[in-house]
Amino acid sequence: MELSKANELYGTLAGDRLCFLYSGAFHDGHTARLIALGEEASLGLDGGRSLSSRLAFVMVEAYQNIIRHRPELTPEQALGAARSLFMLRDQGSGPEVITVNPVVEPESEALSGAMDRLTALDMPALKELFLNSLKSGQRTRQGGAGLGLIEIARRSTQGVRHHLEPLDELHRLFTLQVQLAGSAGAYTSLPTLHHLRALVVEQDILLLYKGVLSPGVQASIIRMVGSDLDERGRGHDARPRAFHALMELVQELGAMERSVMVLFAQHDHGDRMLLALPLENAQMQNLDGMLRQLQGMGPQLAYEQYRKVLLGRLPSAGPGHSSLLDLAAHCVLPLQYELLPTTSGGLLLLGAVV
């Protein structure tokens, strides 16, 4: 992934308190990890346990809707124009859950009609509809009577929003947006969604997270990415070790409480990891010097120097030195980086292929 594209993504999400974006294989096993991410996302938000519970339900049900409703696709379609997307985003006013996935053309009109009816109902009417649907016991091809969508609408404070657009002769693209707090005007705009999804398809992004990287978030991220890449035949031990080195870099630079962006994408030579990390002015020059030294250093030499720094046989060049050496030791290509000045200091864009 080009660093310029990463900077473009970071700029699009610059004001977000949190953003989690997933566009992988949509395994059932990811459901528990989504709940953990939702719990982390709701920390510090007004609404407490009530909001946390509603968010967890909506995230899981929206994620499962993608699994239930996705039609059979060729690999080219699934990674291209028909690629599915799940996103949790908080622009400062409260969490929003977004899904984008293809549906077959014959079902799209019925789905659109059902969504239109849902958005026109108030809370008492939604509750009545839910109870009536539960009693009727009607089943659909996807295994339910629309109960999940009804419950999603009930647990949103601002209702739900949807959009259908043509994809090809057989499919349409269905977008669902659920706002769980704040004002109805806080929805992500469709142009922004189109832009983000285009970057995901173009750069083959599996997962992106922007926010504070707590240990729970880190564990969920590496497990989700690991299962997806293993399915693509890209399993290897270097990935979790390199990710650990990346997180050590964040810690050594005193940025564990800062909002950073980390993403995983595919690369012809391996797995692509990228970090966007806000810096203080004093850190910029020292990091630049360390990264310049790493540019011509192969993984074997990086590992040897990393061991020497750990054993005290080589003086550390400053905070971040040992973790950068550790990261470079697991890479199959030289580290890429840019240090960009900002109004409050700087931004490190760091790319690694493992």
> What's residue 290's pLDDT?
92
321-332 pLDDT, tens digit per residue, is 999 999 999 999
List beta partners, residue 15. Answer: none
The structure tokens listed for 346 are 């700087």
Yes or no: say if 151 and 130 are a contact pair by the CB < 8 Å rule: yes
Instruction: Give the pLDDT band (50/70/90) at residue 184.
Output: low
Q: How far apart are the first and last CA of the chain?
A: 13
Annotated domain spans of the chain: 29-185, 204-354
Where does 29-185 sit in CATH, by number?
3.30.565
Share of the chain above pLDDT 90, in %: 44
The count of other CB atoms within 10 Å of the CB of residue 105 is 15
The structure tokens listed for 105 are 């053309």
Instruction: Give the pLDDT band (50/70/90) at residue 62.
Output: very high
> What's residue 203's pLDDT?
92
- C-alpha 229/C-alpha 322 separation (Å) is 27
What fold is seen in the domain 204-354? Answer: Heat Shock Protein 90 (3.30.565)
> What's residue 232's pLDDT?
61
284-325 pLDDT, tens digit per residue, is 888 999 999 898 889 999 999 999 999 999 999 999 999 999
| Residue range 251-268: mean pLDDT, rounded | 90
Domains 29-185 and 204-354 share a fold: yes
